[in-house]
A and B are shown apart, each in its own frame.
Chain A
Amino acid sequence: MILEVKNIKKSFGEAEILHNISFTVQSGRAFGLLGRNGAGKTTTIRILMGVFNANEGDILLDGIPFDQTKYKIGYLPEERGLYPKKPVIEQLVYLGQLRGLKKAEALKNSIYWLERLGVIEYKKRKLETLSKGNQQKIQLASTLVSNPDLIILDEPFSGLDPVNSQLLKDVVQELIDINKLVIFSSHQMSYVEEFCDDILIMNQGEVAILGSLNQIKKDFGHNRLFVSSTNYTHQNLKEFMQSNFSENVKVEAILKKGIIIELLNNTSKKELLNLLLKTDIDIDTFQMYEPSLNDIFVDKAGDK
């Protein structure tokens, strides 16, 4: 399945919140929807689920307009919420039925997910009596109980300890492996890097960057090198580069373990390496710079 969002615009009153948002999600490839608070992620998600209508634009599934009522959507909201005073199993079955399952099927699926997530012993307990981590697992079970075609996970790892995070990672990976459409929204970039093949970074209601994560990293690191030395501090190395090779490189940043430089005037890596070898610099690292998603995020969504 391919979900295409095309030129979505959305206004609340006078203010336009989303400006021409377009992206494509493919089943079997997790999609990361990123952005700072207030960038428009939740509004985009709500439009996808049919809670809000877009003012303009189309949402297509396999080329035809996406009718949310014909597909099951599992949504794990960032603001967790279920009925605190009701038994776990009762609310899971209810949500399953609301999304179109028969009672027996909803019960079967609920038990499957409670077992899979290791919380089956709490099925008759009231939700409010469980720990935060276990409540989080119940919330995830409620997202998956209807065996959804499209799964939207908003900050799924918040509140989980490392063991439970690993359990959730396995579950998410399974969902991706069985060709579900998975949209993943998080501020924890390490998780996004781990799962997502494609990302969209939104900034103030616009597409800041969109595409395959590998390609983005490659493009972002294009013509940039990461260099460090054993006999020069990063600052001294930067000054040395600026005073001796200003025609060939521009120092972009000093990181913890080295400096990032950009090659200028068609200087190749080999030429720069030859130049450096002729100096007294004892090169420790000389490699293509591959940015982390965090660097890309800060660059694209940060304050300019």
Chain B
Amino acid sequence: MKQFFTVFKFELLHYFKNKAYIITTSILCVVAVIGLSVPTILDLFGFGEDKEPTGPSSSETSDFDTYGVITNDIIDLNDPSLTIYFPSINFIEYTSPDQLNEDVISETIEAGFVIESDFEYQYLVKNSSMHDPLVSKFSNYLKHNYQLVTFESLNIDSDKVFEVLNTKVSSETIVLGKDSVNNYMYTYILIMMLYFMVIFYGQMIATGVASEKSNRAIEVLVTSAKPNNLIFGKVFAGALAGIIQFGAIIGFSYISYEINSAAWNNGLDMIFHIPLDAILSFAVFGLLGYLFYSFIFGALGALASKTEDINTSAMPITLIFVGAFLVVMAGMNDPTGSLLTIASYIPFSSFMAMFVRVAMTDVSMVEVIISLVILVLSTGLIGIIAAKIYRQGTLRYGNPLKLKDAFKMLKSKD
């Protein structure tokens, strides 16, 4: 145990003395603090005082865009409802299609409409964009115009008809369990954080092991300490360094938001005010999952002889992890679905999937405990396997060893 703590302390100090680690953590903390203080700073300097109290909804500007229309007497450009449909558009009547084309191409006007019948029109535009809301708006207007004209010809009171058609039904959703919509945001952010932690620190642990192998320090290390203590010390130190880094960023963000929450109108409460059960499940499952992958990355680092070989060695597990992440992200859209339920029992994905389920749905304690037990046992087992691969892999040089070789090593009694 003493040896484990010696390795753990040495490796942890290695992170803390690493300039890249200190600078990255500091920059991210500063960015979080400043980013969350922006509304307060803006208020302080008087920006946003003339803001509309209802919030930013005035996307329309006072500038009018000009559009050309060949009406063919189907619509009246003086129709008051036209300005309701198109408040910032000025329509000009054209008679010649060629002139209309020319003006669209020369950008004299934004675009043009050629109305061919009550139900048909052409939209002339120089460059089309993916989503042009004008097309559906203009279709709606034409439809409305046709309805009015038809009701009038049939002597029907159009106001009455529209009143009936537009009757509103009011509803109120009372969430008795968990509100997936509100919880989605913080769940999403925490899952992304886990993803980056595993990828960043997994790679760092693998690189650390492989560099000890490439600079041959491993020769002295494995003859000075038990391999189990070496790999466990390294992985736990890497895990703690990651937790401290992300903890610092979360902590600074939280404090900064608490100070500035008034300026945000408490708009980010749904991210920062996370229920205790979600925090607990994130801490427990996140930590175990993180250790689970860190052990695998540590063992894979031992399979590489040079740091350049790590990508080759770590490719399969990176693919599995990214796959598990995508499954969980997809499962977030349907947190009660079977995809996420199955994923919440498989150790490769359970630490993310079970957290999502706890955060977004009601999960029975039995399910949480079963998933937790599977994850704890798997992490322990992976730790033991990783230690064995580490011991075997560290003294083998040459081409990077493949996973197949690693499994052979497990059977060996060396």
Q: Which residues of A contact B (CB under 8 A)?
A: 12, 46, 49, 51-53, 55, 69, 73, 75, 77, 79-84, 86, 94-95, 97-100, 142
Contact = CB atoms under 8 A, between A and B. Distances in A.
Contacts of A12: 414
B395 A98 contact: no
B4 to A, nearest CB: 10
B413 interface: yes
21 contacts: A12-B414, A46-B395, A51-B223, A52-B414, A53-B413, A53-B414, A73-B223, A75-B224, A77-B220, A81-B217, A81-B218, A82-B217, A82-B220, A83-B217, A84-B215, A94-B10, A97-B6, A98-B3, A98-B7, A98-B224, A98-B225
Interface residues of B, number: 23
Nearest to B394: A51
Interface of B: 2-3, 6-7, 10, 14, 212, 215-226, 391, 395, 413-414
Scoring B3, B6, B220, B222 by chain A CB atoms within 10 A of each residue's CB, the highest score goes to B220
B219 A98 contact: no
Contacts of A52: 414
Contacts of A98: 3, 6-7, 221, 224-225
A21 B216 CA distance: 27
A84 B214 CA distance: 11
A83 B217 CA distance: 6
A49 B414 CA distance: 13
Minimum-distance CB pairs A-B, first 10: A81-B216, A77-B219, A98-B224, A98-B225, A75-B223, A81-B217, A97-B6, A79-B216, A49-B223, A94-B10
A73 to B, nearest CB: 7
Nearest to B5: A97
A79 B414 contact: no
A81 B215 contact: yes
A98 B2 CA distance: 8
Nearest to B392: A52
Which of B7, B221, B222, B223 counts the most chain A CB atoms within 10 A? B223
Taking chain B's interface residues, is the majority helix, strand, or loop, or is none over half, making it mixed?
helix
A94 B14 CA distance: 12
A99 B224 contact: yes
Contacts of A94: 6, 10
B222 A95 contact: no
B215 A95 contact: no
Contacts of B223: 46, 49, 51, 73, 75, 77
A77 B414 CA distance: 20
A98 B14 CA distance: 16
Contacts of A73: 223
A12 B413 CA distance: 10
A51 B215 contact: no
Contacts of B216: 77, 79-81
Nearest to A50: B223
A73 B225 CA distance: 11
Nearest to B414: A52
B6 A75 contact: no
B220 A95 contact: yes
A224 B247 CA distance: 79
Contacts of B215: 81-84
B410 to A, nearest CB: 14
Given A77-B216, A81-B217, A99-B225, 14 more contacts: A46-B223, A46-B395, A75-B223, A77-B219, A77-B223, A79-B219, A82-B220, A83-B217, A94-B6, A94-B10, A98-B6, A98-B221, A99-B224, A142-B220
A53 B388 CA distance: 13
A146 to B, nearest CB: 8
Contacts of B226: 69
Contacts of A69: 226
A188 B5 CA distance: 40
A81 B215 CA distance: 6
Contact of A81 (B2, B10, B220, B225): B220
A297 to B, nearest CB: 25
Contacts of A53: 413-414
Contacts of B218: 81
Nearest to A68: B223
Nearest to A80: B216
A247 B7 CA distance: 71
A222 B204 CA distance: 62
A94 B223 CA distance: 13
A51 B219 CA distance: 10
Contacts of A95: 220, 224
B222 A51 contact: yes
B339 to A, nearest CB: 43
Nearest to A102: B2
Contacts of A84: 215
A77 B217 CA distance: 10
Nearest to B224: A98
A142 B224 CA distance: 10
A102 to B, nearest CB: 10
Contacts of B221: 98
A112 to B, nearest CB: 18
A127 to B, nearest CB: 9
Contacts of A51: 222-223, 391, 395
A70 B224 CA distance: 12
Contacts of B224: 75, 95, 98-99
Contacts of B414: 12, 52-53
Nearest to B7: A98
Contact of A75 (B212, B220, B413): B220
Contacts of B14: 86
B219 A81 contact: yes
